[in-house]
């Protein structure tokens, strides 16, 4: 669900200012596990946490506002949601602060993050020391899921705390398009469907997160050896590995919405096009998204979800603490609350968000386990048994190069 783009240019420019740079600092409470959680709570009282997180969805904004109310009442912490269009801008801010030697009292205390942005922050020493595994509610996290400790092939080293799961899911309005059983079952069938229904499919232009995720889905399906995507991109074979993706995109472009001359700006724009009857198939990175939109009156109740039987892209999204946060203790307390059974239960409920939990049901107290089982996930949400396999995210360097190449080919 987090929206990202490459931060390569920002990284290069800021590192030029920083020279060799200075090591990431571990001031404050980033390693406060040794002090004990009571000490963290005591230090956190009265602190303000500036939480940089995507602000493009009202239900997510409302959920974060609820979190803010809860941590204020329980822990005397003020949570300020800094609404982002693009997470890379927050990464660039921390990088610029490091280049300027601002090792303390940074402007960002918590970031909603994963993928290439996490890779950039970790590589450039922009993250606080590992804190996640010392959080009290970590005991409930589903650590058997490798994506909660490995982010786009990179070990998290405890520098991110998991917040929610994500999986690419398609949906359509069955009143117009017919039963979802007849919908495409892989990228090749989607291409054939688009040719038979010109103008009824599109995708957001990269670097929009959803658009870039769709490109990764097609790449994973079309690449000769998907294992190569789990390693950093190699300039020597980039063109050969990605050629099947460009062939597919070249073939579908003439039959896209507006003949591929324009693209929806983002997922909300794509959702509106489905509601307006301009598109017949759209997609999201949340299995409950269609039900949530139906409940909010944004889509008709005839919309249903489907996935590709061979698998669709999936990952975990996280929160991280910058190395120079001015409220490291309070940021840890907020991160811990985000993985509490109470907060995760509300987040998975499509009335509020519908984002899949990162908790393991067999690690929860019985009452919490029962509460998760009783969630009404809505008419358009597929049960876990119908979501199909998860396709692993490529190494983040692939997306950086693919976004650049897409822009060169189609963005002008």
Residue 45 lies in a domain: yes
The reported pLDDT for the residue numbered 387 is: 87
Whether residues 346 and 359 share a domain: the answer is yes
Confidence of residue 112 (pLDDT cuts 50, 70, 90): very high
Whether residues 175 and 299 share a domain: the answer is yes
The reported pLDDT for the residue numbered 241 is: 97
In sequence order, which ranges of 223-315 are alpha helices (DSSP H)? 238-252, 267-275, 289-295
Whether residues 298 and 345 share a domain: the answer is no
pLDDT at residue 21 tops 50:
no
Overall domain count for the chain: 2
Paired tokens of 357: 């939990």
Whether residues 204 and 150 share a domain: the answer is no
- What value does the mean pLDDT take over residues 199-211? 95
Residue 336 lies in a domain: yes
Whether residues 246 and 330 share a domain: the answer is no
Per-residue pLDDT reduced to its tens digit, 275-326: 999 999 999 999 999 998 998 899 999 999 999 999 999 999 999 999 999 9
CATH number, domain with residue 266: 3.40.190.10
Secondary element (H or E) of residue 9:
helix 8-18
Whether residues 50 and 131 share a domain: the answer is yes
Residue length of the chain: 412
Residue 101 lies in a domain: yes
Whether residues 97 and 15 share a domain: the answer is yes
Q: From 209, 213, 242, select the one nearest 226 (Cα to Cα).
A: 242
pLDDT at residue 5 tops 50:
no
Whether residues 340 and 288 share a domain: the answer is no
The reported pLDDT for the residue numbered 76 is: 98
Residue 386 lies in a domain: no
- What value does the mean pLDDT take over residues 113-127? 94
Q: From 322, 317, 363, 321, select the one nearest 340 (Cα to Cα).
A: 363
Per-residue pLDDT reduced to its tens digit, 250-279: 999 999 999 999 999 999 999 999 999 999
Secondary element (H or E) of residue 67:
helix 58-75
322/52 Cα distance (integer angstroms): 11
Whether residues 124 and 195 share a domain: the answer is no
**Backbone phi and psi for residue 54, each to the nearest 5 degrees, phi listed first:** -50, 135
Establish whether the linkage from the previous residue to 207 is cis, with ω within 30° of 0.
Answer: yes
- What value does the mean pLDDT take over residues 344-362? 92
Q: Is 128 helix (H, G, I), strand (E, B) or coil?
A: coil
21/324 Cα distance (integer angstroms): 14
Range 228-265 burial, b when 16+ CB lie within 10 A, else e:
bbeeebeeeeeeebbebbbebbeebeebbbeebeebbe
* Beta-ladder partners of 390: 312
Q: Is 21 left (phi over 0), alpha (psi -120 to 50) or beta?
A: left
Confidence of residue 35 (pLDDT cuts 50, 70, 90): low
Sign of the torsion angle spanned by Cα atoms 51, 53, 56, 57 = negative
Tell me the residue range of the domain where 27 lies: 8-165+316-381
Paired tokens of 406: 């897409």
Residue 211 lies in a domain: yes
347/287 Cα distance (integer angstroms): 13
Q: Kindly state the DSSP code that residue 407 receives in the 8-state scheme.
A: I
Cβ(108)–Cβ(325) below 8 Å: yes
Residue 300 lies in a domain: yes
Instruction: Please give the share of the chain, as a percent, with pLDDT higher than 70.
Output: 91
In sequence order, which ranges of 155-287 are alpha helices (DSSP H)? 174-177, 187-196, 209-222, 238-252, 267-275
pLDDT at residue 164 tops 90:
yes
Residue 103 lies in a domain: yes
**Backbone phi and psi for residue 124, each to the nearest 5 degrees, phi listed first:** -100, 15
The reported pLDDT for the residue numbered 412 is: 60
Whether residues 251 and 398 share a domain: the answer is yes
Residue 62 lies in a domain: yes
- What value does the mean pLDDT take over residues 52-63? 93
Sign of the torsion angle spanned by Cα atoms 394, 398, 399, 405 = negative
Whether residues 183 and 92 share a domain: the answer is no
* pTM score of the predicted model: 0.76
Name the average pLDDT for the chain.
90
Whether residues 12 and 133 share a domain: the answer is yes
Q: What is the DSSP string of 346-357?
A: HHHSTTTT-PPP
End-to-end CA distance of the chain: 27
């Amino acid at each position: 669900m987090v929206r990202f783009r490459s931060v390569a240019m920002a990284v290069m420019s800021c590192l030029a200012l920083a020279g060799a740079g200075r090591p990431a600092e571990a001031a404050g409470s980033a390693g406060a596990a040794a002090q004990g959680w009571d000490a963290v709570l005591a230090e956190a009282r009265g602190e303000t946490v500036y939480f940089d997180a995507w602000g493009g969805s009202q239900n997510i904004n409302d959920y974060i506002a609820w979190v803010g109310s809860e941590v204020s009442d329980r822990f005397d912490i003020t949570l300020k949601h800094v609404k982002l269009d693009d997470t890379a801008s927050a990464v660039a801010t921390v990088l610029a602060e490091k280049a300027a030697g601002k090792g303390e009292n940074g402007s960002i205390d918590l970031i909603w993050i994963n993928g290439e942005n996490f890779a950039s922050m970790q590589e450039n020493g922009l993250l606080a020391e590992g804190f996640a595994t010392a959080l009290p509610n970590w005991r409930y996290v589903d650590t058997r899921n490798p994506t909660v400790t490995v982010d786009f092939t990179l070990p998290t080293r405890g520098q991110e705390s998991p917040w929610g799961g994500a999986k690419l899911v398609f949906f359509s309005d069955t009143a117009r398009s017919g039963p979802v059983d007849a919908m495409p079952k892989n990228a090749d069938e989607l291409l054939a469907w688009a040719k038979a229904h010109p103008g009824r499919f599109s995708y957001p232009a990269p670097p929009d997160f959803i658009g870039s995720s769709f490109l990764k889905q097609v790449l994973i399906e079309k690449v000769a050896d998907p294992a190569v995507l789990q390693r950093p991109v190699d300039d020597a074979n980039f063109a050969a590995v990605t050629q099947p993706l460009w062939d597919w995109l070249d073939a579908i472009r003439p039959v896209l919405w507006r003949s591929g001359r324009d693209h929806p700006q983002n997922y909300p724009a794509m959702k509106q096009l489905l509601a307006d009857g301009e598109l017949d198939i759209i997609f999201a990175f949340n299995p409950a998204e269609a039900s949530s939109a139906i409940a909010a009156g944004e889509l008709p109740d005839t919309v249903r979800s489907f996935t590709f039987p061979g698998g669709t892209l999936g990952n975990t999204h996280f929160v991280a603490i910058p190395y120079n946060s001015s409220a490291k203790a309070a940021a840890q307390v907020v991160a811990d609350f985000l993985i509490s059974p109470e907060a995760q239960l509300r987040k998975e409920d499509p009335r509020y968000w519908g984002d899949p939990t990162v908790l393991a049901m067999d690690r929860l107290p019985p009452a919490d386990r029962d509460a998760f089982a009783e969630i009404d996930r809505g008419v358009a949400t597929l049960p876990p048994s119908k979501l199909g396999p998860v396709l692993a995210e490529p190494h983040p360097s692939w997306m950086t190069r693919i976004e650049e190449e897409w822009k060169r080919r189609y963005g002008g």
